Structure 1
Amino acid sequence: MSKVDELKLDQTRLAQAWRETLPTVLNETDRCEVFEDEGDDRSLRVTIYGAGHQMYSYDFKVTYVDSREVEISLIDVDEAKKTIDERKELVQQQVADYRRHLHECAQALHRLTKA
């Protein structure tokens, strides 16, 4: 018998909670956008605009595996609105940093998502 721990929050409310919470865990100079993933009701799409001259933006898909665990996938990285090779060391460091922030946001919202 498997224990099912499903997310008990609608996607629109979840996206709104992320819009309010994510800026509080990001670096002060970074900006972000959060949208519902229209193809997957357990996922959100997050774009983080890094501060600095490079004009990098990072697109992530955040999927709730259950009420406590999120899976974070990097979709792509753009520099000045052009897709770039995300294997550059600086970009990899930023991606790792943003993944931590995304996990931190999910943790901060655990009170809303727990079953």
Structure 2
Amino acid sequence: MGKTDTLTMNQDQLVKAWNQTLPTVLNESERVEIKADAADPRTIWVHIATAGHSFYSFDFKCTYVDSREVHVTFVDVEQDGQHINERTEIVQTLIDDYVRHIHECAQQLHAVTHH
């Protein structure tokens, strides 16, 4: 049996790497904040604030399945600090885009998350 492909980075390094890498796959004007999950060392929280006048902000929970793949869960969307319906087409499109970008970032970070 081969060795399992597990995440080998500590959470602080992981948060730092994500903070450096995720903005490079998003639009320049979008703001990103990555936080560690206190309960699970394989989980980080991703907060993305959109650019422009819409003032959307999105929260995602990302849990590493292995060193390459993350399971992304959409948690919440707000507009100008107020919770809004995430079922609108524009919000769903943004959620899909951000989930794709988060997976893209995880792929880029595979070089550092797998030793």
Shorter-chain TM-score bucket reads: over 0.9
Q: For residue 22 of structure 1, what is the aligned residue in structure 2?
A: 22
Is 2:9 the counterpart of 1:9? yes
Length, aligned pairs only: 115
- The match for 1:80 is 80
Corresponding residue for residue 99 of structure 1:
99
- How much does 1:93 deviate? 0.3
Is 1:46 matched up with 2:50?
A: no
Give, in whole Å, the separation in 2 of the partners of 1:90 and 1:112.
34
TM normalised by structure 2 equals 0.94
The separation in 2 between residues aligned to 1:3 and 1:9, in whole angstroms, is 16
SS of 2:41's equivalent in the other structure is coil
SS of alignment partner, residue 106 of structure 2? helix
Residue 89 of structure 2: aligned partner: 89
Displacement, 1:37? 0.8
TM-score for the superposition, normalised by structure 1: 0.94
The gaps in structure 1 that reach 5 residues or longer are none
- Unpaired runs of 5+ residues, structure 2, are none
Please give the alpha-carbon distance, in whole angstroms, between the structure 2 residues aligned to 1:84 and 1:3: 44
Matched ranges for 1:49-64 at <5 A: 49-64=49-64
Pairwise CA RMSD: 1.3
